[in-house]
Amino acid sequence: MKKKNLCIIPARRGSKGIPFKNIQKVCGKPLIEYAISAAKESTLINRIIVSTDSKKIASLAIKLGAEIPFIRPKKISNDFATQYDVAQHAVKFLLDQESYLPDIITILQPTSPIRTGKIIDKSINLLKKNNSTSVISVSSVKDHPDIIFRQKNKYLKPLNKNFEKHSTRQSRSQLYAPTGSIYTFWYKTLKNYNSIYGPRIKALKIKEQEFNIDIDTLYDLFISEMTKLHWNQFKEKFDLKK
């Protein structure tokens, strides 16, 4: 039996950094369009909904081919609302109103505009092939905690007292950070653990730096547009395969 693979795109109106961030444009297209287009490119996603508290975003999402089964309540539309809150509300609504219950849920944040349907499918297949409760996109940590400082009494203090031993990259353990691009998990993870993660999190490692852009500031928005416009052509000047 074909699994029900639900895609949830969270797109609230509020943002402290950039007003209406989720519909700001990169190369002439609103960010939410990139998320919806990537979900539509997926061969495994078979339902796409946008969770928003904005009628303006809802109207745009419908035009772009996504569903708006509800307007998100204010209580889970503030700065403290989590991905779990969004997923839990959406699934409960669809179950109560339509008796619809997904097998797998994928969350795509509009703030990661460089993403493909193939990568989404890879996350879903990775979840199904392993005994994992979730799959999240990650990148290697650049600012490693072993060489990070904090300020105390006007002076810098290393987080790791042995930081000098970790001055070279080769001496540090490999760490990963979520990119914010893809979260894929079973419905039973949501139900059994009250979490989108659960205890067995599988890493979807994405080496391409452009896929790891997460827009939080105006500068990030600029970087996204410049990457879309110039990155592929720029890379050709440094053909590392030669």
> Is 241's pLDDT higher than 60?
no
Of residues 2 and 196, more confidently modeled = 196
Sign of CA dihedral 52, 191, 82, 228: negative
What contacts 199, CB < 8 A, 6 or more positions away? 133, 193
User: Residue 233 is encoded by which pair of tokens?
Assistant: 């052509």
For 168-219, how does the pLDDT look when each residue is reduced to its tens digit (9 = 90+)? 666 667 888 899 999 999 999 999 999 999 999 999 998 888 888 899 999 9
CA angle 20-62-211, nearest 5°?
60
Q: Which helix (H) or strand (E) holds 60?
A: helix 55-63
Residue 240 has pLDDT above 60, yes or no: no
pLDDT band at 165 (very low <50, low <70, confident <90, very high): low
Does CATH place domain 5-140+175-238 in 3.40.710.10?
no
The answer on pLDDT for 227 being more than 90 is yes
Task: Please give the helix or strand (H or E) that residue 177 lies within, else none.
Answer: strand 176-186
For 183, counting Cβ atoms within 10 Å of its Cβ (0-12 exposed, 13-18 middle, 19+ buried), the class is buried
What is the predicted pLDDT for the residue at 242?
A: 47
- Please state, in angstroms and as integers, the Cα–Cα distance from residue 20 to each residue in 29, 31, 150, 226, following that order: 14, 10, 33, 20
